[in-house]
Structure 1
Amino acid sequence: MTMKDLAELRAWKPYEITADTSGSAPGSLPEFLASHDNFNAFLTEKKAIVFRGFSVAEDSLDPVLDQLLPNRLAYVHGNSPRTKVGSNVYTSTEYPQEFTISMHNELSYGHRWPSRLVFYCATAPATGGATTVVDGELWLASLEPEVREAFAGGVRYNQNLHDGIGLGKSWQDTFETDDRAAVEAFLKEAEAEWSWQPDGALRITQIRRSTLVHPESGTEVWFNQSDQWHPASLGDETAAELAQILPAEELPQSVTFADGTPIPDAYVLQVRDRGLENAVDVNWAQGDLLVIDNVAVGHGRGAFTGDRRILVAMTD
């Protein structure tokens, strides 16, 4: 990538549609969507779209989601804490509000991932709390050649899901079932390796790609969560404390290169930081919606004060 290419990529931002500019009245988003049957192609072109000023109330959200997400998916095998609040509608990641959530593509560590996410603002924060988005093509291009080359062979994700008591999520919460056979069927289809531990915990290993070619645009994008799964992203102090409690192979989640060799701390920190440096803020007002192409665009969250209630749903 030349500097000009990077500059062009950095000029990208989500496309905004407001009730005023669309000629629509507040509350009329379902009608607006019904009259635009080329939305899929439009989203592929724009990568992320924000709807503002349509005053969508939480109790009228379902009809909008039905149009934007024809096949709403459950958050199965998700690794972040969240609460199910409706028909495959969830709270966004319930992570302490004083911390930033780094950039990632939803379920990029899985065998399958959603093609599209919708975020809805039920309660806007007092300050901060933007949902941040980053162009995956820019994220990949911003990495040093040495890092891109090192990740070319893919990554290996390792999970330890407890049986109800322990660090991180339980396997029951992760898969939304207490049926071991159902979990094993899911993991078999996902081409993962797994083993049940004597204490009832579940250990999972998956080898995945580090980049992905968008199925419609043909663009190669950064598409893995190595930085979020790597202890270095926790900070030196937290990582050291975890290392005293658990050996590396028993951490709730960890990551290596696909062949099992360690990923240098500096590499995952560069990945994390370049994603954050190139992110664009989507600031919230009550009733706003953000739709993103989950392959083309990564997302995260800024720190905030006050109450913040963002709901999220996804489709295949």
Structure 2
Amino acid sequence: MTDRLAWKPLEIGPESSGVAGDAEGLLAELRRTDVAALLTERKALVFRGFGVTEETLGTVMDELLPNRAAYVHGNSPRTKVGRNVYTSTEYPAEFVISMHNELSYAHAWPERLLFFCAVQPGTGGATPVVDAALWLESLDAEVREAFAGGVRYTQNLHGGRGLGKSWQETFETDDPAEVERFLAGAEAEWQWRPGNALRVVQNRPATVRHPVTGAEVWFNQADQWHPAMLGADAAALARVMPADELPQSVSFADGGAIPPEYVTQIRDRGLEAAVDVDWRTGDLLLIDNLLVAHGRRPFTGDRRVLVAMSS
């Protein structure tokens, strides 16, 4: 426990590496480093001082993300800006984004995430990261036990007009047959509904074990999908319509309701245990998506952070 409380990402710069402070210097450092082993050991790596730009980002990504993947079945609002490169979640600047592991609600998730700061925020805007094993350990035994059977996620995706995201945005296709093939492979249940809408239901575990370290980590998005955590407007909406009719909702895997106080504890303890990565233009942050969860602090001014992921 003590070691995890002292954990923070490893910062790598040109001076410590003995290379030039540019993208070529970073590439030289990456090519002589066993990035996979270092990332498993340190969980998150910050590359700072290499002057990476959006123009030079591609070659760096090719080294750090050898199997770059699309954000298919993602539920947060983003804009695609390149080959499987996206803006980070486009929630309003004044809101905190709570801790989560990317696509932890899905059948398959990325092993690595890479964040790149193209424009640093005026103030705030850090990306908090938390050791996911510490997050699990921080929860009350009652909460851990309640989630032992897993969780059930329900999505209601409209066909072009409605609340939340459309299924076309979510799956990056207009072809229903392609969506069905994806969902069948994901072991999800689905139902086409009136108005070209789609309901998707998935049962997933609440914790997983890292394939290399064996560490058990908190790995679900129950707090982000719960109506109690979705803000005043969503909470008001939840009072006038069933939870499973909302754009997204969550329950225990057996269909039982998750108490609001459980998800409040999950959200708050994840944020309390997090370490902030403050952004400077040109910085990169690489994380192991199982070992580390991430979020976002509120900010002012312009902030442009791009994200890509790989299996």
Q: Which TM class, normalised by the smaller chain length?
A: over 0.9
Matched, 1:273 2:297: no
Over residues 225-281 of structure 1, what are the superposed CA-to-partner deviations in whole Å (9 max), with x where a residue is unaligned?
00000011124x334321255322210000000000000000011001010000100
Over residues 121-175 of structure 1, what are the superposed CA-to-partner deviations in whole Å (9 max), with x where a residue is unaligned?
0000000000110000000000000000000000000000001111110000000
Aligned residue number for residue 297 of structure 1: 292
Aligned residue number for residue 44 of structure 2: 48
Of 46, 56, 60, 1:60 maps to 56
Aligned residue number for residue 196 of structure 1: 192
1:1-316 equivalences under 5 Å are: 5=1, 7-27=2-22, 28-36=25-33, 38-235=34-231, 237-244=232-239, 246-316=241-311
The aligned length equals 309
Letter in structure 2 aligned against 1:30? L
Counterparts of 2:251 and 2:113 in 1: how far apart (Å)?
Answer: 28
| Structure 1 gap ranges (5+) | none
Give the % identical residues.
66
Q: Compute the TM-score of the two structures, normalised by the length of structure 1.
A: 0.96
| Structure 2 gap ranges (5+) | none
Structure 1 pair 104–52 and aligned structure 2 pair: CA distance change class (3 A): same
Letter in structure 2 aligned against 1:56? V
Counterparts of 1:309 and 1:20 in 2: how far apart (Å)?
Answer: 26
Over residues 64-120 of structure 1, what are the superposed CA-to-partner deviations in whole Å (9 max), with x where a residue is unaligned?
000000010000000000000001000000000000000000000000000000000
Q: Compute the TM-score of the two structures, normalised by the length of structure 2.
A: 0.98
Counterparts of 1:67 and 1:102 in 2: how far apart (Å)?
Answer: 29
Shift, 1:199, TM fit: 1.1
1:66 is paired with a residue of what secondary structure?
helix
2:169 is paired with a residue of what secondary structure?
helix
Counterparts of 1:191 and 1:129 in 2: how far apart (Å)?
Answer: 36
1:59 is paired with a residue of what secondary structure?
coil
Shift, 1:20, TM fit: 1.3
Shift, 1:284, TM fit: 0.5
